[in-house]
Amino acid sequence: MTRRCPGSTFVGIATLKDWKWFICTRGYANIIPSPGDVVHGMVYAITPANEESLDGYEGVPYSYVKQMHGIEMDGSVVEALVYVDVVRVQEGKIKEEYITRMGHAISDALQKGFPEWYIEKYLKPAL
């Protein structure tokens, strides 16, 4: 995140209930509604300039759209910006170049206290 959004601040680890993380047919990460599943993610405070930069990286509105979701963090529910691909909702094969980026993201997440069980269950099988 620090490369894409200089000046962003890590806030914590959060949970989005009844959604599932997966690699979609485009070859990149996505989430879909899935009762009983959870998505864990890292939450950052960003500036309007950071959000504009992220929109470019994420291909808004063609690859992903921006949605606001209630996420659980530190015992509270807060609204957070989430990028979701609403078109490509079937599982696919990860793009080769994305594997390295996911590896860096997993390392960063573990250093910040991300749950290892989640990485083992959802992320590693996709790599």
pTM, two decimals, is 0.91
**Residue 1 included in any domain:** no
34-60 per-position pLDDT tens digit: 999 999 999 999 999 999 999 999 999
For the segment 84-103, the average pLDDT, to the nearest whole number, is 95
**Which CATH number does the domain housing residue 93 bear?**
3.10.490.10
| Section 73-77 average pLDDT | 94
- Kindly report the backbone phi and psi dihedral angles of residue 4, in degrees, each rounded to the nearest multiple of 5, phi listed first: -85, -30
Range of 121's domain? 9-126
| Number of domains the chain contains | 1
User: Can you list the alpha helix ranges (DSSP code H) found in the chain?
Assistant: 48-58, 96-111, 116-118
Q: What percent of the chain has pLDDT over 90?
A: 87
Tokens encoding 122: 């959802």
* Within-domain flag for 50: yes
Asked whether the predicted pLDDT for residue 12 surpasses 90, the reply is yes
Asked whether residue 74 is domain-assigned, the answer is yes
Mean pLDDT value of segment 63-74: 96
24 DSSP 8-state letter: B
Element (H, E) at 111: helix 96-111
Residue 2 lies in a domain: no
Residue 36: inside a domain, yes or no? yes
